[in-house]
Each structure stands twice: as C-alpha cells, then as structure tokens.
Structure 1
Amino acid sequence: MALTSGKFRSYDCDRSVVLFSMMDEATEIDCAVSTTAMDALDGAARTPANQREPQFMRLRASIEALAAQKFSKSELEGHPAGIILRSIDVRK
C-alpha cells in the first residue's frame, strides 16, 4: 500500500528539521525532513525560520514522494521507526 499525506507537525529549530507524518492505511508514520534538504529542493540558501512551514507546504509533494521511496525500501530509523530525509536523499 502506498503512503498518503498525514499532518504537518512543527518546525524544530533546535534540530533543524520539519516534523510531519504520513499514513500507511490507518498507521501514522512519524517523519522528519532536514532544513538543509528542504533548501536543496527549493534551490534556496538558509530559509528564515518563520518561512519553514510555508516552504514545507510548497514542497510537500516532493518531500512526501521522497519519504514514500524510503518507506518502500524499508529505510526506517529510530524507535518507533520513522522516516528521516536528509540532504543526501535529495541528491540521489
């Protein structure tokens, strides 16, 4: 089954990630994307903190497609297992 959109959670400035979720049927999968990865996708350099949510929303389809690829390859991390997108995932 393909992942579907979940929720935008927050921008965690301490970890420099945007937290969001995706759904595997009824199961919510925790996800994160680094701000460096988002800037690489956006062709931007150091997006201001107050623009992280709008940036995520603008790039959401691309970010979720990358997360779905990692999920399909069972590239989950942490406990509970989730998806973390880094700049290297954008360059592949």
Structure 2
Amino acid sequence: MALTDAGFTDYDIDRSVVLFTMMDDTTRVPCAISTDAMDQLEGAKRTPPGQREQQFLRLRDKIGERASQKFIAVELEGKPPGIILRAIDFRG
C-alpha cells in the first residue's frame, strides 16, 4: 500500500534536511529529505532557510511519491525506521 501525506514537521538546519511524516494506514512513518534533493528537484541553488517549508509544500507530491516507492521497497533507515530521501533518489 502506498503511503499518504501527513505533512511538514520541521526544517533541521544543522542536518540540512526537512523532516516530514507520511502515514501507513494509522502508523506514522518518519521521513526526511535533504535540502540538496529539494533544490535539485526545483532547479534552485541554496534556497534560504526561511523558505524551506514553502519549497517542501510546492514539491510535496514528488516527494511523497518517491517516499512511497522507498517504503514499498522496504528501503528504511535509522531508529525508529524511516525514509530518508537524497538527491540520488530523484536521478534518472
């Protein structure tokens, strides 16, 4: 089953990732996407920190689709297990 969007959580400037969640039925799946991946998707260079949430919202469909693909393929990382999207996940 594909994941559904649960929304933006936070921008972690120290790790250069946007944190978000997806839902697998009633279970929250923690997710993150690198700022490099978002900039690559949008064709931007160094989006300012104050604009990361808006950038995520513009890209949420593409991000959610790729997160679902990784979830179905059981490509989970970390503790608790979650999905981490990097620029390489959107190439090709």
Report % sequence identity: 62
Q: Which residue of 2 aligns with 1:64?
A: 64
What displacement does 1:79 show?
1.0
**Pairwise CA distance, 1:87:** 0.7
Number of equivalent positions: 92
User: Letter of the aligned partner of 2:23 in structure 1?
Assistant: M
Residue number in structure 2 paired with 1:20: 20
Q: Could you say what the CA RMSD is over the residues aligned between the two structures, in angstroms?
A: 0.7
Structure 2 portions without partners, runs of 5+: none
TM-score, normalising length: structure 2: 0.97
Following the alignment from structure 2 to structure 1, what is the Cα–Cα distance between the partners of residues 26 and 57? Answer: 23
Question: Could you list the runs of 5+ residues in structure 1 that have no partner in the other structure?
Answer: none
Amino acid at match of 1:39: D
User: How far apart in 2 are the matches of 1:2 and 1:78?
Assistant: 20
Conservation of the 8 A alpha-carbon contact between 2:2 and 2:69: no
Which structure has more relative contact order (CA 8 Å, sep 6+)? It is 2
Q: Offset at 1:7?
A: 2.3
